[in-house]
Amino acid sequence: MAKKVERVQTGLRIEKKVLKVLKGLAEYLEIPMGDLVEGLALHAFEGKAPPFSNVQLDKIQQLKKVYDLTLTSTDSHKLIEAGDAK
Parse the chain into domains and list their residue ranges: 16-70
The DSSP call for residue 5 is: -
What pLDDT, on a 0 to 100 scale, did the predictor assign at position 85?
Answer: 60
Contact 42, 7 (CB under 8 A): no
Intervals of the chain under pLDDT 50: none
Q: What is the value of pTM for the model shown? A: 0.86
Q: How many Cα atoms occupy the beta-carbon half-sphere of 15 within 13 Å?
A: 18
What pLDDT, on a 0 to 100 scale, did the predictor assign at position 49?
Answer: 81
